[in-house]
Amino acid sequence: MAQHPGGQRTEQYGADGHRASTYRPSAVGEMLRERPPMVRDLPPFEPDAAPAEPVPLFVDWLVQAVEAGVPDPQVMTLSTVDADGVPDARVLVLRDVDTAEAGWLFAADAASPKGRQLALSPMAALSVYWPQLGRQVRVRGAVEPAPAAVSADEFRHRSPGARVASLVGRQSEPLGSLAAYDLAAEEAQLLLDADPQLVAAGHTVYVLRAHEVEFWQGDPGRRHVRLRYTRTGLGTGRIAWTHTLLWP
């Protein structure tokens, strides 16, 4: 019998050497079982009435998430792959959407792990879940930096605290102590005081140009509705979309 960190998994080995397992959930597993997701009233989604393009539908759902009181509805998960092809993911703030180009805009330090991953492999996915509405949106596409002037302008419109945090830099490097961070932030504050137009060296607005966008409407009876938009005419300069339902 082998112990599993969460539940208890009893392992037996059959005569042919294959492993057979039974699973008994731990207290954590039981707690989760008692809280199935999306067992509440959720809004309907009528795919027949969906627009021809995904950005207007995304904006519509985002506005509804704001109105439903979803906390931080603009926070999405950005997934990338590292140099070894290993996936990585973290949340960040959606800055804007570009309807004409089907672009999702976010900002990050080009020297951070995600910035380096995007430089090596400029394809990514953004995903968001709005629990109050039981809605998920998944966006996949190619990522490229916006023009430097756009990044600089976006930076200068940030709060002083956010600018100082970006000027400190070294994101995701090991930090010796919180006092070391405070010292670096004080130095960054002095630099910003001396030059209020200063922009952090690696600060970059990125644009993910979607080639695929999926809208997922959860249903308490598990009759979830999924609608996937796929971009056509890639490389022709012409943006057109088709959409199809997906089996849930």
Chain residues in the site for ligand FMN (CB under 6 A): 72, 75, 88, 90-93, 106-108, 112-114, 171-172
**Bridge partners of residue 80, in order along the sequence:** 88
Tokens of 28: 């954590």
The least distance separating ligand FMN from the CB of residue 4, rounded to whole angstroms, comes to 29
- Estimate to the nearest angstrom the gap between the alpha carbon of 85 and the chain centroid: 18
Which is closer to ligand FMN, CB of 11 or CB of 88?
88
Which is closer to ligand FMN, CB of 88 or CB of 96?
88
Q: What is the dihedral of CA 219, 221, 223, 40, to 10 degrees?
A: 0
The least distance separating ligand FMN from the CB of residue 59, rounded to whole angstroms, comes to 19
Which is closer to ligand FMN, CB of 75 or CB of 180?
75
Which is closer to ligand FMN, CB of 172 or CB of 244?
172
Quick one: 50 exposed, middle or buried, by C-beta within 10 A (0-12, 13-18, 19+)? middle
Which is closer to ligand FMN, CB of 71 or CB of 235?
71
Tokens of 136: 């998920």
- Cα–Cα distances (Å) from 192 to 189, 205, 247, in that order, read 5, 20, 53
Which is closer to ligand FMN, CB of 112 or CB of 217?
112
Cα–Cα distance measured from residue 113 to residue 202, given in angstroms and rounded to the nearest whole number: 12
The least distance separating ligand FMN from the CB of residue 18, rounded to whole angstroms, comes to 39
HEC secondary structure over 74-138:
CEEEEEEECCCCCEEEEEEEEEEEECCCCEEEEEEECCCHHHHHHHHCCEEEEEEEEHHHCEEEE
The least distance separating ligand FMN from the CB of residue 214, rounded to whole angstroms, comes to 22
The least distance separating ligand FMN from the CB of residue 184, rounded to whole angstroms, comes to 16
Which is closer to ligand FMN, CB of 67 or CB of 72?
72
Phi, psi of 88 (to 5 degrees): -140, 150
The least distance separating ligand FMN from the CB of residue 171, rounded to whole angstroms, comes to 5
Quick one: 178 exposed, middle or buried, by C-beta within 10 A (0-12, 13-18, 19+)? exposed
Pick from 89, 105, 109, 86: nearest CA to 97: 105
